[in-house]
Amino acid sequence: MNKKIIAVILLYLVQFMASSCVIDCGCEDKKTFDKLYDEVRLELWDMNIYPFTPLEDKNNADKLDFGLTMMVTYNVAQIGAVQQKLRFNSLGFTTANACSCASDEYIATDPITSFQIMAMDTATEEITDVTHQFITYNYDDEPITINEYREIYYYEPDDVVFRLIDVYYFPNTVQFEVKANLASGRIISQKTPVVTFVHQ
């Protein structure tokens, strides 16, 4: 008799838990998108005073106060979706947990591996890799290059101004080209207008 009573109680308990544990959050399916890098955008800066201002006169730049920002834009393409499932929790008791839906995921199947900053001396047309001559500072106020920045902080330096250093043997009239090197070997690049430095 006791076994029958226990079995009936367990049967109702299981039904109660099954009906009360299901939470439908009304979430849309989680989607995965591929970031397809397509363009490098550049901005030149006058770093003479803070806050820095865009360099308006490219024929009147100061080597000691010259800065550069770069941003790589991208399009997205959906590559997958995961159907949201009903959540079972609380073991039949009232739960205070709010519904939460999984965010869409953005990945790059062809990620950026490094940046290069090239400088062409317009007088001689000699091209030099000057990536190491553009720096910013980490949280310990130590100078770091753009690729060191990416290794430390794991994201692209879209809003970071990199200052030109070691300027004393730098050409006076220069055109810069910034290259974003992708894992596939593809290169996305953009050139600046010709910049004339007036302070030697």
- The pLDDT value recorded for residue 26 is 72
Question: With a threshold of 0.75, does the pTM exceed it?
Answer: yes
pLDDT at 54 over 80: yes
CA distance 24 to 99: 8
Of the candidate ranges 61-70, 80-89, 96-105, 148-157, the one whose mean pLDDT is the lowest: 80-89
Cβ-count burial 170-195 (b if 16+ within 10 Å, e if not): bbeebbbbbbbbbeeeeebebebeeb
Of 55-64, 100-109, 172-181, minimum mean pLDDT range: 100-109
pLDDT attached to residue 20: 47
What pLDDT does 13 receive?
A: 56
The CA distance from 136 to 142, in Å, is 8
Residue 183 has pLDDT above 70, yes or no: yes
Any idea where the domains of the chain sit in the sequence?
Answer: 2-199
Question: How confident is the model over 113-139, as pLDDT tens digits?
Answer: 999 999 999 999 999 999 999 999 999
Structure tokens at 142: 């130590």
Q: Note the pLDDT of residue 123.
A: 95
